[in-house]
Structure 1
């Protein structure tokens, strides 16, 4: 519409601002706002639009940026009390690419402290809640982005993902999130440039929008040692994949992830709906070994170096998840870290063998349904106490260890009336094929009221008074006190 002059970038920006101002008090997703500068950029975008010259991929589109990414002149807190007044003097590469493509940064979205936690709450901004029910979690750590998209505040948002940080919120909020192959979206800020665990990725309301944002973010850069040589323009021209030619494996729990019976049962219903779309489909679990111990060790090693000094100097202001991850690393030996790297390598090789028989692996995108915000994290599933505060996201962090791309697509509502998402895992480095298959699945479900993307009832959301948006749950303060003790 912008390209054919049917919509002004200023009109679009003002509409997003109006939606944020009306809706965000009930959700608390867009925690730092850049409306004044953004509107000036929208005016310039409108002038360029009317001049009739070439326009960038994201020309005039408002984009929300997760608050783990530095944005020049705009509050970047990383969810930390230590940085609550921090305003960077430069943009990270990801933001520079958004702006170079014509995108307009409208604000920052909420995240737990340094992204540590699968529930979006911190002591700077409080909790972000689920637009489908403000008593419930939007998951994390890209929960602010997912909630803003679901509530229609922005058309595009960024996320980051180590253990499932953009995939789980996408599932909880009924939107799309794509975890790219490591190196697809380069970073000039990631401390561990050689690690494939943490990536930045696009989030949107549908697959094609996510692919459009990825087209602006992807492409090689010398600052990232894992940066891939690829043509990002392919993502902008995404076409649906022929599902009838694909061999698909369904798995309810990847063979070793912790997934509730409720989710496994409903996933079986969803799989039955999807199965006729594919050339061949069967139930098959990959052999991922002890994904829990492997991921815990690699993640803790990252935290130990990145935040060890931070905890030493600011323990009184640090959150429990950062403290817990950092101190867990102190109990690990060099041999433990070496074993984890070796096991990830073995897991990766077994996964390549698995994909000799399949083009896609489809599984649930979250192990449980959205839970109360006050719980902070999931402590048990089906009566079994979990070994760590992040074990409940093992269905996503298991895929992280494989390094394969994964797209989350919403598939209607669960029996409890909450968003349900599937995780579509593609072949190694095949982000384009994975997204193209996800787009085709999304299109096949679009006309099905039972399985298409759900939309939250904003009138009902705004009329409720029982949410925790912007508040700090008592449970979080209890966890903080325990960690500090």
Structure 2
């Protein structure tokens, strides 16, 4: 793997996925030892953050013992052999509940693994447990009426964002070296940014979306989360399978245009040959001044590394309108039964989005789809001149978890519960691969996420550039990856004792 992390690690729970996998292969680390370390860490800190909400540690240990036996037998080893991983509570793990963060599904227990979980297990991974998310992943604050809130490990009064918030926190505190996530309006990138880890949104179809209702609207996608760029590349190599169930996963003779194994061996990139655009707000995104200032500082540090760095942005005309209408279409597609039969159990975000959807006409939808076509073509023209775009990953610094979303940003009122996610959905609308890379902390002392966006289909390039930037700042006191204070978390009182822990308001 490119750019190995050089920090000295004494507890196996703090190893990156690539470090742990290499040590397992060399017989320097037992899969059982790693599983036990992750379980111990979870038991020590989960009370403070509430990241893991369902688990079967006995099964994980059985899987770890099987992984250890495979080492001694000389059997071929999968890419994630012996690595525990967390699974967002939107996808099935056989024998564990899949609640979607909804009281409607509080007692829903999965009978089989989802495709992603099955792939990870086939590649040697073991399930640590289910990670928390907002109700039906609607919103950027991980809290629901089933499991309660998940707190930011850097400040337990703040949100970890969402919707893959439990996964981001589990990674940040050493519960697991890898976690699944999904992303529509930044649900991989926002929590990664708030929690000091890496979240990667791939191009449509790279990770097949086999359960996506409106199959031809590829706004949602699953993706990998890890502590380093190499970690998410390793996980992506398992997730990026040829599957014709997704119309955006192109398969010829059983193969995709991308070689999944390439994600485990990221190429070196000469940053000095790149022409890069930098934008604080894509020309439309409400963005907090503290975020703008942090972004400028990182651009200043990186400017000498790039061949050319210009203040420029793709044309994002109608971005808010496009995202609002198409998101509402997906809500109407996914929640008709729930709203018809259980409207009283649906939380405010989904309910508001449902009602918004009902207010749109067929003409509104047709217009939004046409706008998206123009938006996409504008982005392709822009990327004829630039190799990559860099920006903040999120519009605001982490806020109080009791607030469902920021009502305003520096005094300007937000339009909806998802409007503050606009730094992320700018690239979602165009379908371009995007990564949130942790680069130090902002002026408030909280993690800062740096976003890199590449051409559609250039997933390998985005990962490779991110790895180069990560390597530049590895171990740097200002811009290196921030680390959560594990001892502070161990000593913290249970999060469940906090007022407002359970529910929406």
Give the TM-score normalised by the residue count of structure 2.
0.92
- In the TM superposition, what whole-angstrom CA distance separates every residue of 1:85-123 from its partner, at most 9, and x where no partner exists? 111112111111111111111101000011001000000
Check 1:331–1:211 CA distance in 2 against 1; reply closer, same or farther (3 A cut).
same
Please show how residues 96-107 of structure 1 align to structure 2 within 5 Å: 96-107=118-129
SS state of the match for residue 25, structure 2?
coil
Q: Distance in 2 between matches of 1:239 and 1:65?
A: 29
Aligned to 2:489: 461
- In the TM superposition, what whole-angstrom CA distance separates every residue of 1:145-178 from its partner, at most 9, and x where no partner exists? 0001001111000100000001000000000000
Please show how residues 381-396 of structure 1 align to structure 2 within 5 Å: 381-396=409-424
Aligned to 2:360: 332
The answer (yes or no) to whether the contact 2:148–2:502 under 8 Å persists in 1 is no
Q: Distance in 1 between matches of 2:425 and 2:451?
A: 12
Please show how residues 29-428 of structure 1 align to structure 2 within 5 Å: 29-228=51-250, 229=256, 230-428=258-456
Q: Distance in 2 between matches of 1:381 and 1:195?
A: 29
Q: Distance in 2 between matches of 1:151 and 1:115?
A: 22
Aligned to 1:473: 500
Q: Distance in 2 between matches of 1:16 and 1:379?
A: 37
Q: Distance in 2 between matches of 1:333 and 1:476?
A: 32
The answer (yes or no) to whether the contact 1:128–1:469 under 8 Å persists in 2 is no
Q: CA deviation at 1:259?
A: 0.7
Q: Distance in 2 between matches of 1:196 and 1:231?
A: 21
Over the aligned positions, Cα root-mean-square deviation in angstroms equals 1.4
Please show how residues 3-14 of structure 1 align to structure 2 within 5 Å: 3-14=25-36
Aligned pair count reads 477
- Runs of 5+ consecutive residues of structure 1 not aligned to the other structure: 479-485
- In the TM superposition, what whole-angstrom CA distance separates every residue of 1:258-300 from its partner, at most 9, and x where no partner exists? 1112211221111101111111111112211021111000000
Q: Does structure 1 residue 24 correspond to structure 2 residue 46?
A: yes
Q: CA deviation at 1:366?
A: 0.8
Q: CA deviation at 1:471?
A: 5.8
SS state of the match for residue 399, structure 2?
coil
Q: Which runs of 4+ in 1 moved over 6 A?
A: none
Aligned to 1:452: 480
- In the TM superposition, what whole-angstrom CA distance separates every residue of 1:353-406 from its partner, at most 9, and x where no partner exists? 111111110000011100001111111011111111111111101110010000
The answer (yes or no) to whether the contact 1:215–1:232 under 8 Å persists in 2 is yes
The answer (yes or no) to whether the contact 1:92–1:189 under 8 Å persists in 2 is no
The answer (yes or no) to whether the contact 1:27–1:469 under 8 Å persists in 2 is no
Q: Name which of structure 1's ranges 180-189 and 137-146 shifts more when overlaid on structure 2.
A: 180-189
Q: Name which of structure 1's ranges 311-320 and 186-195 shifts more when overlaid on structure 2.
A: 186-195
Give the TM-score normalised by the residue count of structure 1.
0.96
Q: CA deviation at 1:223?
A: 1.8
The answer (yes or no) to whether the contact 1:126–1:470 under 8 Å persists in 2 is no
Aligned to 1:481: none
Q: Distance in 1 between matches of 2:290 and 2:153?
A: 22
The answer (yes or no) to whether the contact 2:198–2:435 under 8 Å persists in 1 is yes
Q: CA deviation at 1:409?
A: 0.4
